[in-house]
Structure 1
Amino acid sequence: MTSNRKRKLVIMLVLSVALLLSPITGTATVQAEGASNSYNYSFWGNTVVSPDAYDATKLLTGHNLGVGSLKDPSDLHVTADGHIYVLDSGNNRIIVLDDKFKLLHIIDSFEHAGQQDTFASPQGIFVTEHNQLYIADTGNKRVVHLDEQRQLVQIVDSPQSELLQANFEFKPVRVVVDKANRIYVMATGVFDGFMEFNANGEFTTFIGANRVNVDPLEYLWKTLSTREQRSQMVQFTPTEFTNLDINDEGFIYATNGDQWGDNIKKLNAQGTDILRREGYFNPTGDIRYRVTDGPSRMIDIDVTDSEIYSVLDSKRGRIFTYNGDGHLMYVFGGLGNQLGKFTTPVAIERVGDQMLVLDKALGEITVFETTAYGRTLNEAVRSYYRGDEEAAFQRYLETINMNANLEFAYSGIGKALLRQGNYGEAMKYFKESYDNKGYSKAFLLHRKEILRSYFPTIMTILVTLLLAIFVWRKVRKWKGGKKIVTIE
C-alpha cells in the first residue's frame, strides 16, 4: 500500500470516529440564550426548565468596601463564624470582612526574622476552625502559616524528598488543612496529585493523582502515525487539579480539567476517589453542549453541610450544585455583563445559604440569595441527610409542587417513605423518578410485608387443609376396612 493511500485511510478513519463520537459529546446547546439560566436535566438527558434557586442581589467592589480597587483577586474563604477572607492577589493583601460585608482587617505583611515580610502574587488562602491562616504565597514559592493574632508560625518552602525531581520548583497555588493540621497543597506543574505536608511543614507524600485519560481521536492518530510523527506529538500526562476544598470530616473535594474522565472527586485519606455518582449522570457540569464549545471546565469547588457541594464552570460561568448522591440540584450564573453574570469567575464560597462568586477580571464579588425554591430544596436534602424523614417528605413535596421537572425529588420522597416503612407508596415515587435501585428495594420490602401480613391466614388455611386431608384419609381407610356380612 502506498503512503498516499495510507494517509487517506487514516484521514477516513479519524473522520469516521469523529462522526461517531459527536453525538456522545453533545450535539445541542445547553439552552437558548435568554433571560434565565435555570435548568436541569431529565433522566433522558433532555434540558428541562427549572425555577431560579438563587437570585443575584448585590455586587461588592473594592470601592464600596472602602479598600480601593481589587486587582486580580484569586481566592475566597469563609470561616464558620461567617468571616470572609478575600485574597487580593494583585495588591498582595488579604481583606477580611464580617458576614454583613463590613471591613474588619487588611493583612498585607507579617513579622519574619525581625523584619516586615510581604506576599508576592499569593493565589490561595485557607483558615482553620481555630483561625489559623495559611496563604499559598506563589510568587515567593512558599506557604505562610499565621496564627490567630497574625503572627508567623512557620513557612513551608522548597520541600526535599526523593519523590521530587532534582529541578523541582515549588509554586503553591491552593492550600487546605485538615483537623490533624496536615497541609495539602496544589502546586503548579505537579501531576502526581496534591502535596501532603505534616504539621511541622515536612513533605510526606502525594495523594489523589489523576489517571491519564486520552482523547480517543488523539489516541487513534498516535496509533496510526509513524515513529517520527509520534516523536513530535505531546506525550499523554495526567491532568492537573484546578482546585480543592475540605469538609469537616477531612475529605478533600477536588476539581480538575479532565474532559474525558471524572472532573470532580472526593478523596479519602489514602487519596482514593469515593465520590458517589448515583445520579442520572455523573457530576461533571453540563452534559449537553456544542461540540465546538466542549464540556465544562471546573475551576473551583465549595462543600457545605449535608454533603452538598457546588462547582464553578469557568467556560460558561455557571455554578452546579449536587447532593451527596450526585444528583444535580440546580444551576445558576453565566457569562455576561449584567448582575448575576461574570467575566472571569475564579472562586465560589458560601456564607450560610448565600453564595459568593469572585470575578478576577472585574475585581468584584457577586452575592446570591436563595429563592423560596432554593431554600426548600436545600432543606429537603438536609432533612433527609440528618434522618428527619417527615421533614424531608414534606419539603420534597413542596419542591415538586414548585418544579415538577425535578425528577430526583420524587426519588427523595420515595427514600423518605422507605425509611418510614411505607414501601408500597415509595414504589410509586421511585417509578416516577426512574430510580430502579430504589424501586427494587421497596418492592422486595413491600412483598415481604405483604407475605408477613397474610402469613397467619395462609398458615391457618394450610393447616386446615392438611388436617382435612388427614381426616378424609382416615375416614376413607376406616370405611374401606369394614366387611359387609350377607345373611342367606
Structure 2
Amino acid sequence: MFKGKPKARVCILAALCCFIVLSAGGTLIHAADGAASYNYSYWSRSVASPAAYEATTLLDGANLGVGAFNNPSDLHVTPDNEIYVLDSGNNRIVVLDQQFNKTAVIDSFDHEGKAYSFLNPQGIYVTEQKHLIIADTGNKRVVHLDQNHSLVKIVEKPVSDLLQANYVFQPVRVVMDKAQRIYVMALGIFDGFMEFNTDGAFTSFIGANKVQVDPVELFWKRFSTKAQRSQMIMFTPTEFTNMDMNDEGFIFATNGDLWGDSIKKLNAQGNDILRRTGYFNPKGDVRYTSDIGPSRLVDIDVTDSEIYSVLDSKRGRIFTYNGDGHFMYVFGGMGNQLGEFNTPTAIERVGDDFLVLDKAFGEITVFRTTEYGRTLNEAVRSYFRGEEEKAYKLYDQTVNRNANLDFAYSGIGKALFRQGEYKESMQYFKQSFEQNHYSKAFLLYRKQVLREHFGLIMTIIIVIVASSLLIRGYRKMKGRKKVVTFE
C-alpha cells in the first residue's frame, strides 16, 4: 500500500506513536490529591508526612481597618517584615507592620505639582531601602517611588528595534537589583524579562524560555495547506508567570511550561543556573490526575539559605524546595475552609511564617510553622551555613518525626561527610539513594583506611617480600647442596 513512499510511512508511524503516548497519559498518571500533607519518595510515590505549616489566621480589608480588598494581586514583605499588599481593584497599596496593623495607604504620588493615581496595578517590589517599584498596568508604566513615597522616575513604553511598533507596554511584575536595574515581566512578551537601566532606559531582554513544540500540531502542519497553516497555533516561547529576586541578585522565575522546567534561576546573562539534583525536578506535584494535569506555578518566593517556595494555582498548594532542588514540604489546597483558597495569586514569607493572598476572596491566610516544619527549615539552614554538627542533630530529629523524608537521610549523610565520617555517611547515602555521594564517600573512606593502616600494610608487605626472598634463597642453597652431594 505504501510501497515507494517511505516518507508517508514514517509520518503515519509518528502519528500512531503520538496517539499511543497521548492515549496512555490518563492511565500512567496517578493522583496525589488525597493527602493534605504529603511528600514524594525516591520512587516518586506520594507518602504521608507531618504538616510543616498550619493555617492560623484569616485577614481581610475589613478586619485590617482599611475597607474590603478588591481583587488584590500581589504581596511583598521587606527584610524587617513590613508587609505591602497591592489592592489592585482599589488602585492602592496597603502597608502593614508585622502585627498586621495598618501603617500607610498609598493611592497616588505627586509629579510636577500634580497628583497621579494608579490604575489596576498588578505587581509590586520593595527594596531594602524601602523604595517601591510598582507595575502600574492600567496606565502602561512602571512607577519608582522612594522611601517617602515620592516619585523617583516613571518607566514608560520603551522604544527599541527589538519591539514591534504597535507593541502595548503592559507591565505585570517587577523587581529591582542592587544596581537599581529594573526587570519587568510584561504581557505579550515572549523574549524574557525586559531590563531597564538606572535611568529607566530599556537595554535588553534576558532569560527567554525555549520554544515548546507540540508533536501532534507539528505532524498536521506537514499535511496542511499554506492557508490552513496560517490559522494554526504558532510555536512561541512560553511566557513567564512570576518572578522574585534573592539577596545575591539572582532572579527566580516561574513560567507556564507544563512539561519542561517551570522554575528557573537566572544569572545576569539570563542563563538558568537552578540546581536540579533532587530525586525529581522542582515543578510542583510529581503525580497528578490526568483530568487536572500538572501544576501551574504562578508565584515564587525566595528566602535565605537558597530555600524557595512556589504556588500552584490549580490546586492551591505551596511547594518548598532546598537549594539542591529537594522537595521539603507542601501545604494548602482549594476550598472554603481555613487554609484553603479560591484563586491563590501570591505568596510571601514573614520570618518563617507564610502569607497567601487569595484574589477572589480578597483575603490573606497566615500559616505558622509546626515543630516539624521549624526543625526541617533549620536543618537545611544549618547545613547551608556549614554547621555540620547542628545540621546532623536537626536532620536526625526530622527523620524521627518523618521516616518517609528520604532526602533528610541524605542531609545526615552530607553532614557526616563534611565531618570526615565517611563510613557512617555511606550508610545514610545508601538509605537515601544518593549514588554520587556514596561513591565519593567510599573513595575517601578507602583512602582513610589506607592512610590509617599504612604502617601495618607496609610492614605486612615488607614481611611478605622478605619472606619470599628468604624462602627463594633457602631453596637455591638447598638445591646446590644436593648437586654437590650427588657429585
Q: TM-score range by the shorter chain?
A: over 0.9
SS at the partner of 2:68?
coil
Alignment deviations for residues 339-387 of structure 1 (CA, whole Å, 9 cap, x no partner): 0000000000000001000000010000000001100000110011000
- Matched with 1:401 is 400
Partners of 2:12 and 2:453 lie apart in 1 by 72
Question: 1:128 Cα shift?
Answer: 0.6
> What residue identity is the alignment partner of 1:65?
L
Task: Pick closer, same or farther for the CA change 1:483–1:43 going to 2, 3 Å.
Answer: closer
Structure 1, 295-304 or 424-433: larger mean CA deviation: 424-433
Task: Pick closer, same or farther for the CA change 1:201–1:402 going to 2, 3 Å.
Answer: same
Task: Pick closer, same or farther for the CA change 1:58–1:120 going to 2, 3 Å.
Answer: same
Is the contact made by 1:318 and 1:332 (CA closer than 8 Å) also made in structure 2? yes
> What residue identity is the alignment partner of 2:107?
D
Partners of 1:469 and 1:219 lie apart in 2 by 75
Partners of 2:162 and 2:18 lie apart in 1 by 39
Question: 1:452 Cα shift?
Answer: 1.8
- Matched with 1:344 is 343
- Matched with 2:326 is 327
Partners of 1:278 and 1:392 lie apart in 2 by 19
- Matched with 1:15 is 19
> What residue identity is the alignment partner of 1:425?
E
Alignment deviations for residues 249-299 of structure 1 (CA, whole Å, 9 cap, x no partner): 000000001112110000000000000001111000111112121110000
SS at the partner of 1:238?
coil
Partners of 1:139 and 1:391 lie apart in 2 by 50
Partners of 1:190 and 1:348 lie apart in 2 by 24
- TM-score under structure 1 normalisation? 0.94
Structure 1, 284-293 or 239-248: larger mean CA deviation: 284-293
Partners of 2:262 and 2:32 lie apart in 1 by 19
Partners of 1:160 and 1:479 lie apart in 2 by 102
Counterparts of 1:57-456 in structure 2, within 5 Å, are 57-456=56-455
Partners of 1:483 and 1:422 lie apart in 2 by 59
Instruction: Calculate percent identity across the aligned residue pairs.
Output: 65
Question: 1:485 Cα shift?
Answer: 8.8
Question: Which residue, out of 14, 29, 32, partners 2:31?
Answer: 29
Is the contact made by 1:18 and 1:217 (CA closer than 8 Å) also made in structure 2? no
Partners of 1:185 and 1:312 lie apart in 2 by 20
Task: Pick closer, same or farther for the CA change 1:14–1:467 going to 2, 3 Å.
Answer: closer
Question: 1:216 Cα shift?
Answer: 3.3
Question: 1:335 Cα shift?
Answer: 0.5
Structure 2 unmatched runs, 5+: 3-7
Partners of 2:66 and 2:244 lie apart in 1 by 27
Partners of 1:249 and 1:381 lie apart in 2 by 18
Question: 1:17 Cα shift?
Answer: 3.2
Partners of 1:15 and 1:459 lie apart in 2 by 66
Is the contact made by 1:14 and 1:221 (CA closer than 8 Å) also made in structure 2? no
SS at the partner of 1:65?
coil
Q: CA RMSD in A?
A: 2.2
> What residue identity is the alignment partner of 2:31?
T
> What residue identity is the alignment partner of 1:88?
D
Is the contact made by 1:384 and 1:416 (CA closer than 8 Å) also made in structure 2? yes
- Count of residues in correspondence between the two structures: 479
Question: 1:215 Cα shift?
Answer: 3.1
Structure 1, 476-485 or 169-178: larger mean CA deviation: 476-485
> What residue identity is the alignment partner of 1:52?
A
Partners of 2:45 and 2:483 lie apart in 1 by 86
Alignment deviations for residues 54-80 of structure 1 (CA, whole Å, 9 cap, x no partner): 000000100000000000100000001
SS at the partner of 2:62?
helix
Is the contact made by 1:215 and 1:260 (CA closer than 8 Å) also made in structure 2? no
Partners of 1:282 and 1:49 lie apart in 2 by 20
Structure 1, 437-446 or 401-410: larger mean CA deviation: 437-446
Partners of 1:18 and 1:389 lie apart in 2 by 47
Alignment deviations for residues 90-129 of structure 1 (CA, whole Å, 9 cap, x no partner): 0000000001111000001111111111111111101111
> What residue identity is the alignment partner of 2:22?
A
> What residue identity is the alignment partner of 1:16?
I
- TM-score under structure 2 normalisation? 0.94
Partners of 1:27 and 1:220 lie apart in 2 by 25
Task: Pick closer, same or farther for the CA change 1:223–1:402 going to 2, 3 Å.
Answer: farther
Partners of 1:84 and 1:320 lie apart in 2 by 22
> What residue identity is the alignment partner of 1:201?
G
Question: 1:19 Cα shift?
Answer: 2.4
Partners of 2:344 and 2:266 lie apart in 1 by 25
Partners of 1:186 and 1:403 lie apart in 2 by 39
- Matched with 2:5 is none
Is the contact made by 1:134 and 1:175 (CA closer than 8 Å) also made in structure 2? yes
Is the contact made by 1:142 and 1:155 (CA closer than 8 Å) also made in structure 2? yes
Partners of 1:242 and 1:154 lie apart in 2 by 25
